[in-house]
A and B are shown apart, each in its own frame.
Chain A
Amino acid sequence: MADVFDRVKKIIVDQLDVEESKVTMEASFKDDLEADSLDVVELVMELEDEFDMEIADEEAEKINTVGDAVEYINSQS
């Protein structure tokens, strides 16, 4: 669990250029991490590469918080 979160966190910090401390499970990409729609699309692309999976558009649309992303990835592995 922690492993996935750490990997997701690293990608978020790199992509969105935010402080590590801001990246919590509850943090919303758009509200707390100041990501726009395109940032989220890009982030999902990076997650797909990192975890070697395909995230369908319908699923990607449901990913609003860091926790959503971590849970989705865990549910697929």
Chain B
Amino acid sequence: MLEGKNALVTGASRGIGKAIALELGQKGANVAVNFAGNEEKAQAVVEELEALGVKTFKIQADVSDEASVKSMVKAVIKEFGSLDILVNNAGITRDNLLMRMKEEEFDQVINTNLKGVFVCTKAVTRQMMKQKEGKIINVSSIVGVSGNPGQANYVAAKAGVIGLTKTTAKELASRNILVNAVAPGFIATEMTDALTDEQKESMYSLIPLERLGKAEDVARVVRFLASDDANYITGQTIHIDGGMVM
């Protein structure tokens, strides 16, 4: 499905990013595994990808730092020869009530989760324009659509990603670069593992499908958007949330 395609996934050492990297690899894409701090986990993802028989390597970069992103993109193009798919997944949380949120907490989340998408997108655009083809998939969040108490910074960033997706889609459509977002709802990760049964029950009451999503549920939609099956879709945000927000 993605044989011969070359992909870069940011924040791919764990969680949803890891699932996306593996899903793209399983469908034949070569995958560059970006990580910020956790080299060991990134290496484990690389080894899983190698076992699938695709080209892969890990590469450290802080997505909010333009110089470091530029050299990452250069390295990926040098290694693979082209860059067909960018998945902007890297993200952090610094949850706090608005009244208690520090300026620093707000800035950190905006820098990684929103500015990071801008920086990475800008860095790959030159290559994709030359190829006259490219797919960019941004991982937003359902809370970017609905809002969520305690996450003013995260929600602002994720809502920003949706706006950025639409604008980039319009600017680059004439060059056949398609830009879409996915908005995951409650997905089972290390983060949700920490919740009590009571917290989980109250969460399920908000989800028509009455269960948590899996990282693979998100990864499969990203793989679809990255494939030729989605060649007439751009500027969209696909909710993967068990029907939580309609």
Instruction: Please give the residue numbers on chain A whose beta carbons come within 8 Å of chain B beta carbons, in ascending order.
Output: 38, 42, 45
Contacts and interface: CB of A to CB of B under 8 A. Distances in A.
B175 interface: yes
Given A38-B171, A38-B175, A45-B130, 5 more contacts: A38-B172, A38-B174, A42-B129, A42-B175, A45-B129
B126 interface: yes
A17 B174 CA distance: 15
B146 to A, nearest CB: 34
9 contacts: A38-B171, A38-B172, A38-B174, A38-B175, A42-B129, A42-B175, A45-B126, A45-B129, A45-B130
Nearest to A42: B129
Contacts of A45: 126, 129-130
Contacts of A38: 171-172, 174-175
Contacts of B129: 42, 45
The 4 closest A-B pairs by CB, nearest first: A42-B129, A45-B126, A38-B174, A38-B171
Contacts, number: 9
A42 B125 CA distance: 10
Secondary structure type dominating chain A contacts: helix
Contacts of B172: 38
Contacts of B126: 45
Interface of B: 126, 129-130, 171-172, 174-175
Nearest to B129: A42
Nearest to B126: A45
A45 B129 CA distance: 10
A76 B72 CA distance: 28
A42 B175 CA distance: 10
B83 to A, nearest CB: 15
A69 B174 CA distance: 24
A2 to B, nearest CB: 27
Contacts of A42: 129, 175
A38 B176 CA distance: 13
A42 B171 CA distance: 13
A42 B128 CA distance: 11
A38 to B, nearest CB: 7
B44 to A, nearest CB: 37
Nearest to B172: A38
Nearest to A46: B130
A42 B174 CA distance: 12
A42 B130 CA distance: 8
B75 to A, nearest CB: 18
